[in-house]
Amino acid sequence: MQLRDFIELVLLASIWGAAFIFTRTATPEFGPISLITMRAGIASLILLPFVCNRNAISQITQHWRGILIVGLTNTAIPFCLFSYSLLHIGAGYASVMNATAPMFGALIGWLWLKQRISSVAVFGLLIGFIGVAVLSAAQAAAFDSISILPTLATLSATALYGYAGCFTKQHLSAVGPMALAAGSLFAATLCLLPLNIWFMPSTLPSSSSWIDAIALGALCTALAYLMYFRLIAKVGPSNALTVAYLIPAFGIMWGIVLLNETLTPSMWVGVMLVICGVLLVTGVATRVIARHRLKAKPAA
């Protein structure tokens, strides 16, 4: 990975970390359903020109049922669940919970796709979910017991992310990434529009909330997707996926800087346990240790 690609990776993580801030500030005025309808709708319109070609249209029309399922499980439902949860919990806390998606992906892949899971990954799952429990207890103690339900909402969202990843691998491997991204966002928008009629805000949101909503759709979704797929093409999927490990750091940083959020010592313990669990489950820690040992091995 060249320096320019690494800088773009860090910038992408900062943008996705900021999504939790924009959602946290805009949801009280828009409501979860209306805000996510706006986010998905704006992003799908921006990405539309990138899929206006025969190949992408053919892929979307041929696999529309699967793309609809991904639109629901990877965008519409989890985005709404996170939007709801951010009414009650901090943006930094939510960004850490978002990092549990790879753990659910490994667990669902093992249960559904019969993928092998190593003993190290099992240990990582245990460590990660202990971290979630510690973080949830600390959050509830710092605020109130109502934060338990939003925590369950975030875990449900990340479990859906894990399911969507496994479903995509099983049924949509022939669909190009840009066609899948734009098609699933468009499907999510179509599914949310009827609900939005019932959940539209009773009063017109402020200009700052509109700016947050537009930033969510244009910056944190459309532009971020374009950057992400560019990174996949340049440095490969494995390197591009490392952005997931940087997002919690930026989510916490933006929450502290912009929203004056604080993390207690017990919350930091939970954060570290979750991140360690994710690194073990995804095999990142094992690869780093193996690479270090290989470099340290004396030449014959």
pLDDT tens digit string along 247-265?
Answer: 888 888 898 899 888 877 8
pLDDT tens string 1-21: 677 888 888 899 999 999 999
Domain ranges of the chain: 3-296
The whole-number average pLDDT for the span 151-176 is 89
* Sequence-separated (6 or more) residues with CB below 8 Å from residue 55: 176, 179
Q: Which residue has the higher pLDDT, 138 or 10?
A: 10
Total Cβ atoms within 10 A of residue 287: 12
Between 39 and 98, residue with greater pLDDT:
39
More confidently predicted of 143 and 77: 77
Q: What's the whole-model pTM score?
A: 0.86
pLDDT band at 173 (very low <50, low <70, confident <90, very high): confident
Report the range of poorest mean pLDDT among 22-36, 50-64, 125-139, 194-208: 125-139
Specify the higher pLDDT residue, 154 or 140: 154
With helix as H, strand as E and coil as C, how does 32-100 read? HHHHHHHHHHHHHHHHHHHHCCHHHHHHHHHCHHHHHHHHHHHHHHHHHHHHHHCCCCCHHHHHHHHCC
